[in-house]
Amino acid sequence: DLANGGVMNEDAHAKELGLKGITNSVEDVIVARDIMLCRDTGVKLHLCHCSTKNSVTMVERAKLEGISVTAEVCPHHFILTSDDIRKIEPTVDAENKVAIEADADTNFKMNPPLRSREDVQALKEGLRDNIMDVIATDHAPHTFEEKNT
């Protein structure tokens, strides 16, 4: 399991929230592997749920090399970033001192996780430039327990 128990993008927010992160490399190594296999075997490849800048770059290079690859992105991956996960709530203690508490909103828990602004921008550009071929909803029902663990 390359995600190694991670629950969100590995970045400063994950550290601040004390949560284990998932690096972009988890996706990137799989995309690279699958594109190489596609090139070497001549089969057609469709990549689902791309969420990283490197995925867009690798898909673009593959297409320029004539490799038969298509790729999809989900709306949440080109609209939201890992910044959106944090719920920041000011609290006031008994001495009227304000403290800022950060918490993670589990409504933003997904796989692959929401990525950085740089990744989101690359996905938008990939869609605009017809590098990324499909927008897919990625709808999948989950129980309350699955979303909150």
Asked whether residue 12 is assigned to any structural domain, the reply reads: yes
The CATH number given to whatever domain includes residue 129 is 3.20.20.140
Q: Give the tens place of pLDDT for each residue, 44-82.
A: 999 999 999 999 999 999 999 999 999 999 999 999 998
Domain of 42 in residue numbering reads as 8-147
Q: Residue 49 has what pLDDT?
A: 96
The tally of domains found in the chain comes to 1
d(CA 127, CA 135): 9
Asked whether residue 1 is assigned to any structural domain, the reply reads: no
Asked whether residue 2 is assigned to any structural domain, the reply reads: no
DSSP reduced 3-state for 18: coil
Asked whether residue 43 is assigned to any structural domain, the reply reads: yes
Of residues 83, 84, 133, 138, which has the active-site annotation? 138
What is this structure's pTM? 0.83
What are the residue ranges in the chain where pLDDT is below 70? 86-92, 97-104, 149
**Residue 58: half-sphere exposure toward Cβ, Cα within 13 Å:** 23
Q: Residue 73 has what pLDDT?
A: 98
Active site residue 138: yes
